Structure 1
Amino acid sequence: MTVPAGALAVGVGAARGATYAELADTLGAVLDRAGLSRTDVSVVATLTTKCDFPAILRLAESLDAALVALDAAELAAVAVPHPSPAVHARVGTPSVAEAAALHACGAGADLVIPKTRGAGTPSLCTIAVARRQVGRNGSTNAT
């Protein structure tokens, strides 16, 4: 699934103990700071091994967004501004949140919010947001 032009994709990285409250609070804070709306989110994307986490499932449901699961190879193929060797060692890709958000948007995506750690102590999630751009003639960018 590719995000519609102008819509947002939320990439989520999370540890098994991440809560819905931490995910929702983190997303709400970053969207507010960027002047973006939860209603513009059409996809929540994450690593395949994390797509059954209750907090991620609930986040997608609360946003009325599709949940997209991507494998480590798909995510590793996405160039991101903030790769992490530690994440790569744990899950096989140097990025989950940023790569998932960008991948869900397809070609021409802009990372509008880079990965942001959750506010929990310790932080158990990261959130990134990408947007699929509309071409100058009103058409969507190719995917």
Structure 2
Amino acid sequence: MSLGSRRVALGLGCDRGTPEATIAQAVQEALAAAGLAPEQVAAGASITLKADEVGLLGFAEHFGLALTFYPPEVLATVPVPNPSETVRKYTGTPSVSEAAALLAAGTDMRQLLIEKHKLRGPDGRNATVSIALLP
């Protein structure tokens, strides 16, 4: 399927203190893996626990992306292909990036183009990006 002008939503997760550069690199890699251009990103989302995350907010500002933050109990209701008990232990939901992407896109997991792209930055902090196709 040609993704040409199709629009997508990003679901973003990261360790506390992840630098903006690591998040930006993870997003660039995920978009490239899906054959997408940055201009095709229509929405971005994460968990309410990250609403004050400096690197995430800086990335969104520089990318020109308005972020939606979902509470863990809402994210936990979304069926995802890669739930994680480790993520649940720390956040209260088995998925942040996949569930956030799907909620932001208003779709289901059949529309995930990138399930869970993970990047460990040079400082050891992790960023995770999921990409869902908007209907």
Structure of higher CA gyration radius: 1
- d(CA) in 1 for partners of 2:98, 2:58: 20
Count of aligned pairs:
129
Structure 1 partner of 2:127: 125
Which position in structure 2 is the counterpart of 1:32?
32
The 2-side partners of 1:82 and 1:18 are apart by 22
Cα offset, 1:6, TM superposition? 3.5
Q: Distance in 2 between matches of 1:36 and 1:108?
A: 19
CA distance in 2: counterparts of 1:74 and 1:56, whole angstroms = 20
Q: 5 Å matches for 1:1-143?
A: 6-107=6-107, 110-121=111-122, 122-133=124-135
Deviations 1:13-37 (A, max 9, x none): 1111201110101110121122101
**Cα offset, 1:107, TM superposition:** 3.2
For 1:70 and 1:54, the matched residues in 2 are separated by 17
RMSD (Å) for aligned C-alpha atoms = 1.7
Q: Secondary structure at the match of 1:118?
A: strand
- The answer on whether the counterparts of 2:17 and 2:54 sit within 8 Å (CA) in structure 1 is no
1:32-88 alpha-carbon deviations (Å, 9 max, x no partner): 122101111122200001021111112211221211010001100000000001111
- Give yes or no for contact 2:12–2:129 (8 Å, CA) kept in 1: yes
Query: Relative to 1, partners in 2 of residues 1:60 and 1:31: Cα closer, same or farther, differing over 3 Å?
Result: same
- Is there any run of 5+ residues in structure 2 with no aligned partner, and where? none
TM-score (norm 1): 0.83
Which secondary structure does the structure 1 equivalent of 2:36 belong to?
A: coil
* Sequence identity (%): 36
With normalisation by structure 2, the TM-score equals: 0.88
Q: What is the DSSP-based 3-state SS (H/G/I as helix, E as strand, rest coil) of the residue aligned with 1:126? A: strand
